[in-house]
Amino acid sequence: FETSLDGILLAEPGGLVLAANAAACRILGRSQAELQKLDGLALMAEHDRAALYEALEERERNGSFQGQLCFTRGDGSVFDAEVASTLFTDSQQRVHSSVVFRDVTARNRDLERLRLLESSVERLNDMVIITRADELDEPGPRIVYVNPAFERMSGYTAEQVIGRSPRMLQGERTDRKTLATIRAALEQDEPVSAELVNYAADGTPYWIDIEITPVLDHRGTCTHYAAIQRDITERRRVEQELRLAANALNNTAEGVMILDHAGCVVSVNPAYTRITGYSAEEVLGNASRTQLFEENRGLLAEIIALVRQQGHWQGEFIGRRRCGESYPALVSVSNVSAEDGAPGYYVVVFNDISDYKAYEEKLEYLAHHDALTRLPNRFLFRDRLREATARARRHDSAMAVLFMDIDRFKNINDSLGHAAGDQLLRELAVRLQGCVRETDTLARLGGDEFTILLEELAAPGDAAVVARKIMSALTEPVEIGGRNLFVSASIGISCFPGDASEPDELMRNADLAMYQVKEDGRAGYRFYAGQMNASAVRELTMHSALHGALAGNEFQLHYQPIVDVATGQVTGVEALLRWNNAQLGLVSPADFIPLAEDTGLILPIGQWVLDEATRELRCLRDAGHPCVRMAINLSARQFRQADLVDSIRGALSSAGVDPLWLELEITETMVMDGAHDTLAALQALHELGVSVALDDFGMGYSSLGYLQRFDLNYLKIDKSFVAGIPRNEGAVAITRTIIAMAHGLGLRVIAEGVETQEQLDTLREWGCEEAQGYYLSVPLASDELRRLLANHDVLPVPSGSPPTGDARTLRSNS
Ligand code: C2E
Ligand code: MG
Ligand code: MG
């Protein structure tokens, strides 16, 4: 009774306390004396009366009661007690009672705490596993508790795992190293956290974030481990995805730039830097310069607006690198919306497509050019012709198509092989290119066919000029494989708008005209018959007639006397070419000399003039006129000829006359020709001993100062100035100046085209030395000249007096 740790009270039948043990006194905070004779009911808490009466009733019924009741201590405080009370009878049959009780306030509090804790853990979304710590070694700590979250996640029921090792949750992908780290920490009773793969009951792996805390008992010994696990499979997946995306972004060849809603650069990838030359540091956070499309800033704003509407845009841009270089870029811009409704981002993906562009251009070039000659091909020519026709129609201008075919090309191909044929075509392409302006289109249609498109023609006849140029470009042989090939071509010309108004028709007509040339014996050109207007016809006939003129003896020289204005003495004659053709009649040199120049025929003709004129000079000397010099006109082409001096020397020596008596007339433009070494050519003539006159002076643009460098003897004032004497002030001023300056340079002056006595007198007055013109004598045929000289070695050139009858006779004679 006295040694019991529980309080024990004995009560007599009335309920008064009979005895209390020491434990009861301690628990109730009352002394033995206080308790004895105290009504047991007074020890019970007021507020718990209902429970008390129930307990008393139960004891009355059953003889005993067990349960919890609330007691009051001596100081008035209350406590929960676990109570067992029994009724018993003594020898006098009186009913006594015993009450055994213990204070369970603390236990109740603990139980309450446990209840709260447990319900929290059970309701937790994170998984909780508690294991026993005493068996760290094989087979590992035993699981003593798992919460429902664990059961849900793993698919195991608590019964399936309790008592087993947590190893059952691990598998192939569970990282051994992480496990070792955890184990090491736990051995030191240290809390530890890690990320780990566990496996569900069905074998599915899932990632957890695990946090293990050692649980210590009151002695500080670790008895359990409490592990809280959170499923992070989704987080890991997103992270993995992000890692992959970042990796892809870093390694892609395309430049990527991410702009925020305000246009600030948020991110760029390495390809961006490689393409643009701007480092990430330079552009990040930079709103004003997106460092991509400097040139098209306005456009970028437009695109952003479009992307805002449609979510996407793709197109080509001209980008600009940091170094200033620009490049074509293929760009796509998309809108990426943010999750929480915040303003989104713009993802700009771009590619430097320079290489692609170059390739595209090359393809384009190949599609439109002939691989052999690099000239435009049939397709490009068609395009250009179509465009040109539209243009010509709009501007009311003229144009022409030349259709050219190499004569007997098949022979060359057959006999010398295709390689030689190709080489010939290439060479011809180069020559043809030299015959047209840059704005004209020269194309190879295929085979040996070429076409030329001439735009903005002043007159249809200009097409003939090009055709003649081509013919003359072909007179030079083409050297192939050490062999000189002479090539000719047949050219058909059709004009817009005269011959045709549609491109196809123009081509067809030019082709027809070309065939006509072939039928007429090749090597020539011809306008489409429908168009052949009078002047073109005449030009055309002239051209073909000129070819036969030399052989047909159709040329003749006339000689116009040149006279000393002071004495009237005939000092020389100018040989002037006359062409008398049966079909064309008398053709002016002004008309046919340019034609002869274009075709190269001027060279044989010039040679003929030279031979004929020196022969005449010989005859004049033999006839007793030793002091008359012969003036010959040289054409530009003749003057440029390398063997000019040789052929002159040859002509002089075969005629047997001294170079002293030969005078060569050249024009300003010939002297000014920068491509030719004029200085050396004139020097050579000078050394040969012939004299040189500058013809038609005043018509070109040269200054006398410039001419000072050259070896010249005479200066011929052009007849247009002489015609203005004495009334046209400008002509007067120019003529006087020319004379004065020519004298300053030591040149003798010859006035051309003197038609009146007045002009003659004025020129003499100004100091002009010599003159020629209709007033003195028209150009004369050889026999007329000889007659004139025989009778009048000296022409009357009276000063101030009316022309003499002789002079008149002379003029009417001629
Ligand atoms: P040019 O050398 O200035 O020849 C003078 C031209 O003036 C000649 O015209 C002559 O007939 C003409 N003429 C002479 N006196 C008068 C006159 O009082 N009044 C007028 N209005 N004209 C006069 P043509 O013979 O028609 O020759 C024209 C041009 O053709 C020459 O101009 C010359 O540049 C060129 N030419 C003539 N023969 C030859 C030749 O054999 N070879 C070359 N390369 N050119 C020649
Ligand atoms: Mg002349
Ligand atoms: Mg002249």
Would you say the CB of residue 28 lies under 6 angstroms from ligand 1? no
C-alpha triplet 188, 139, 164: angle, nearest 5°: 105
- What pLDDT is attached to residue 293? 60
442/475 Cα distance (integer angstroms) = 20
Take residue 32 and report the two structure tokens written for it.
Answer: 């033995």
Confidence of residue 805 (pLDDT cuts 50, 70, 90): very low
Q: Which atom of ligand 1 is nearest to the CA of 557?
A: 41
pLDDT value at 674 more than 80: no
Taking the C-alpha atoms of 130, 134, 140 and 146 in order, what is their torsion angle to the nearest 10 degrees? Answer: -10
Picking from 509, 385, 522, 365, the residue whose alpha carbon sits closest to that of residue 454 is: 385
Report the interhelical angle of 378-395 vs 503-519 (nearest 10°). 110
Residue 342, phi-psi category: left (phi > 0), alpha (psi -120 to 50), beta (remainder) = beta
Mean pLDDT of 391-396: 91
Average pLDDT across the chain, whole number: 87
Q: Is the CB of 716 under 6 A from ligand 1?
A: no
**Cβ–ligand 1 contact at 753 (below 6 Å):** yes
717 Cα to the center of ligand 3, angstroms? 8
Judge whether 738 and 704 are in contact, CB under 8 Å.
Answer: yes
Predicted confidence at residue 302, as pLDDT, reads: 76
Q: Is 573 in the pocket of ligand 1 (CB under 6 A)?
A: no
Q: What is the model's pLDDT at position 811?
A: 33
Which amino acid residue places its CA nearest to atom 37 of ligand 1?
Answer: 576
For ligand 1, whether the C-beta of 587 sits within 6 Å is: no
Q: Residue 363: is its pLDDT beyond 50?
A: yes
Written as six digits, the tokens of 509 are: 């007509």
Question: Quick count: other Cβ atoms within 10 Å of Cβ 698?
Answer: 20
Could you report the per-residue pLDDT of 537-564, keeping only the tens digit for each? 676 678 888 888 999 999 999 999 999 9
Given this model, what pLDDT does residue 534 score?
A: 54
Number of Cβ atoms within 10 Å of the Cβ of 649: 15
Is the pLDDT assigned to residue 809 strictly greater than 50?
no
- pLDDT tens string 597-643: 878 899 999 999 999 999 999 999 999 888 899 999 999 889 988 89
The residues facing 713 across adjacent strands are: none
User: What is the average pLDDT across 208-228?
Assistant: 93
| Confidence band of 236 (pLDDT split at 50, 70, 90) | very high
3-state DSSP of 617-633? HHHHHHCCCCCCEEEEE
Please count the residues of the chain.
814
Q: What is the pTM assigned to this prediction?
A: 0.44
Closest by CA position to 587, among listed 638, 613, 549, 552 = 549
> What would the pLDDT profile of 26-82 be if each residue is shown by its tens digit?
999 999 999 987 888 889 988 888 999 999 999 999 999 999 999 999 999 999 999
CB distance 667 to ligand 1 below 6 Å: no
**pLDDT tens digits along 181-195:** 999 998 898 999 999
Looking at residues 301-317, what average pLDDT do you find?
A: 81
Closest ligand 1 atom to Cα of 638:
44
Of 290, 291, 345, 348, which is closest to residue 315 (Cα–Cα)?
A: 348
Which residues, 6 or more positions from 27, have their beta carbon under 8 angstroms from its beta carbon? 7, 71, 73, 79, 81, 101, 102, 103
Which range (123-127, 459-463, 545-549) has the least confidence?
459-463
Question: What would the mean pLDDT of 363-388 be, rounded to a whole number?
Answer: 91
**Could you report how far apart the first and last alpha carbons of the chain are, in Å?**
185
Question: Over 60: is that where the pLDDT of 204 sits?
Answer: yes
Q: Which ligand 1 atom is nearest residue 667's CA?
A: 34
| 670 CA distance to ligand 3 middle (Å) | 14
The answer, yes or no, to whether residue 812 has pLDDT greater than 50, is: no
- Asked whether the beta carbons of 557 and 606 are under 8 A apart, the reply is no
Q: Phi first, then psi: what are they for 416, rounded to 5°?
A: -105, -10
> Once rounded to an integer, what is the mean pLDDT over residues 292-308?
69
Q: What one-character DSSP code corresponds to residue 291? A: S
Q: Provide CB contacts within 8 A for 809, sequence distance 6+.
A: none
Confidence class of residue 801 from pLDDT cuts 50, 70 and 90? very low
Report whether pLDDT(806) > 70. no
800 pLDDT above the threshold of 80: no
The Cα–Cα gap between 527 and 533 comes to 9
Query: What is the side-by-side strand order in the sheet with 95-103?
Result: 17-20, 7-11, 95-103, 78-89, 64-72
155 or 595: whose pLDDT is higher? 155
Position of tokens 């302006």? 437
Residue of higher predicted confidence among 456 and 261: 456
Give the separation between CA 390 and CA 395, rounded to whole angstroms.
9
Residue 414 amino acid letter: D
Residue 334's alpha-carbon distances to 259, 300, 755, in angstroms, are 10, 13, 88
In degrees, rounded to 5, the angle at the alpha carbon of residue 93 between the alpha carbons of residues 92 and 95 is 120
pLDDT of residue 399: 93
Among 591, 752, 770, which is best to mutate for testing ligand 1, by the most ligand atoms less than 8 A from CB?
752
Task: Give 721's contacts (C-beta < 8 A, 6+ positions apart).
Answer: 698, 731, 734, 735, 738
Please tell me if the CB atom of residue 590 comes closer than 6 angstroms to any atom of ligand 1. Answer: yes
